[in-house]
Amino acid sequence: MTELLKISLPDGSVREMEQGSTPADVAAAIGPGLAKAAIAAKVDGELVDLSRPFTGDAQLALVTSRDEEEALELARHDYAHVLAEAVQALWPGTQITFGPATDDGFYYDVMAPSSREPFSMDDLPAIEEKMREIIKADKPLRREVWSRQQLIDKWQAEGETFKAEWAAELPEGEELTVYWSGEDWLDMCRGPHLPSTGKLDPQAFKLMRVAGAYWRGDQKNAQLTRIYGTGWLNKKQLNAYLTRLEEAAKRDHRKLGREMDLFHLQEEAHGSVFWHPHGYVIWRELEAYMRRAIDDAGYNEVKTPQVMDARQWEQSGHWGKYRENMFVIPDEVPNVEDEGPIVSDDADWMALKPMNCPAHVLIFRQGIKSYRDLPLRIYENGCCHRNEPHGALHGLMRVRQFTQDDAHIFCREDQIVDEVRAFCELADRVYKDFGFTYSIKLALRPEKRFGSDADWDKAEEELRNAVREAGLATEEYGWEELPGEGAFYAPKLEWHLTDAIGRTWQVGTIQSDRVLPERLDATYVGEDGGKHRPVMLHRAIFGSYERFIGILIEHFAGRLPVWLAPVQAVVATIVSDADGYAMEVVEKLKAAGIRVESDLRNEKINYKVREHSHAKVPHLLVVGMREAEEGTVAVRTLGQQHQKVMPLDEAIAMLKTEASAPDLR
């Protein structure tokens, strides 16, 4: 008699199933409702197709659309395959390469047949229509195991040169799989997939754009077309996503930066920011705010060189790990008319600093440090340069020159938890001042790392304990641990801010580092009279001023809190006869510390209101002859429909209150 398989379910029950049974058979045995709802399965923790036979006794969890994370990943993977099938159905001879799921959708890289131009936005409606046709056909998605040679032969016979090249590099002994869509189209894929195309919602996806892409990401290879789409479980989710995109476009910091005259970027300094007067006001207010925070918290502010000798970067480990991202300078700049290589092999190299930590160690090493001197908190608004890829640059969010609110705390082993806890409490106050909620994540040791396992065990537990003591390792703060995502020298706590439209931004961090003090020979004299290594805590709250300002602009949709607004009030006249009174109002506002401008132009007041509202000025103080006679102003607050007439002194008091920066004490 054939022995039955024991399939354990999440509720603790066990189903006995015949050899060759599948998760779909278990779902059917439980009931028709589950059989219809199931879309995939987790067998011993691995996500697999419903039709995948069990190979022995197993733990089984059936996946339905309620398991949104897994369901979305499956759906987006399937949308990518349907996209590739649709393109090849419409234009035979199209070559396909790869098409993964992404965080909000999917894409597929394809090469148009030689008979036509590369695909463009104009092709997307036809592709979408064909995709819906394939989905409605409810074609079964079936897995098969093939040999490497079978794959090579198929792709070569069909002129799929990219697929053939990839298949030729697959290991011979590994199980290689393909998935059929119906009986007439297949792609090689590890899976898993939904049971059929009909499990997708034909109204829950949209093709978004096309872009150029190189085969295998190498610009020396053939250029392909990447077709991007977004895919969801239902139309409601799609519509919500498109609404978020529309709102994000309105909040785009590059667009608002132009409208508010804050900054600009241009090719002559690609990746660096030209700050205009209004934009630099925001920078200065943030800088002053952060200085108050670090002064109260016992930090010592320093300034370190922009350029340091390569030997320093080699000793720190950055030269070997990070050189391709550094701006490097030879000791001599040759005459441009000279022949031969620009840089000789025996040149002494310098580099613009990509981070501040090695320079702070050099400050720590000046003079003998005692255990009584610790903790020593060194802070710098440090300007750094990183040679980011041209295509990765994005407004203020990713630049080549940036300034960090960077600090390094040199402390004893017994001080680590208290220092990290104090930083957690400071970061909490800062983020709440800007109206952000956040989650905290602990990034744990990566596979390739410096330091002993014992040191990593100690560092990770110290960070855990600090967050617990700060009361932040809770569900409310989204506490989560991320295996393998730490830096090569240290685990780190990460702060992920949530903005006004639900997007998350990883900003603050603190890292517990025992590696750099060792590499750069940082020591202090302990209570026993011997030399000891300090632990170095790398920390930042804003991350970088550029990126944090970009996040703030988008979070507030340009309507910054009054204390941060470049122009806090504009005094605008209705008639020119009120110009004299308007300037009196301006002078009194300036004397009260308000950033104010006047608008005495011979324009209608509605035009002035629209213009200053567009520039996101928080308050418009309108004055005419009546206001001049009565000593009042008509206050129009940004975002409100009605104005409020009040005595000038009352308006000044209101503005002074709103313009006061948060008190960090």
Q: Which residues are catalytic?
A: 357, 386, 404, 406, 408, 492, 538
Cα 651 from Cα 653, distance rounded (Å): 5
User: Phi/psi at 507 (nearest 5 deg)?
Assistant: -125, -75
DSSP 196: B
Q: Is 387 exposed, middle or buried (0-12, 13-18, 19+ CB in 10 A)?
A: middle
Cα 643 from Cα 365, distance rounded (Å): 60
> Helix 124-136 and helix 68-90: axis angle, to 10°?
110
Greatest alpha-carbon pair distance for the chain in Å reads: 106
**Residues in CB range of 301: below 8 A, 6 or more apart:** 291, 294, 379, 380, 381
Amino acid at 86: A
**Residues in CB range of 183: below 8 A, 6 or more apart:** none
Cα 383 from Cα 304, distance rounded (Å): 9
Q: How far is CA 398 from CA 275, 443, 543, in A?
A: 15, 22, 12
DSSP β-ladder status, 58-63 and 46-48: unpaired
Cα 291 from Cα 302, distance rounded (Å): 12
DSSP β-ladder status, 596-599 and 349-352: unpaired
Q: What region, left, alpha or beta, does residue 512 occupy, with left being phi > 0 and alpha being psi -120 to 50 degrees?
A: beta
User: Phi/psi at 439 (nearest 5 deg)?
Assistant: -120, 155
Q: How far is CA 581 from CA 132, 576, 628, in A?
A: 66, 10, 6
Q: Give the 3-state secondary structure of 86-101.
A: HHHHHCCCCEECCCCE
**Residues in CB range of 415: below 8 A, 6 or more apart:** 374, 375
Cα 108 from Cα 183, distance rounded (Å): 21
Residue identified by tokens 């197709």 is 49
Cα 522 from Cα 525, distance rounded (Å): 11
Q: Which two tokens stand for residue 410?
A: 């040199």
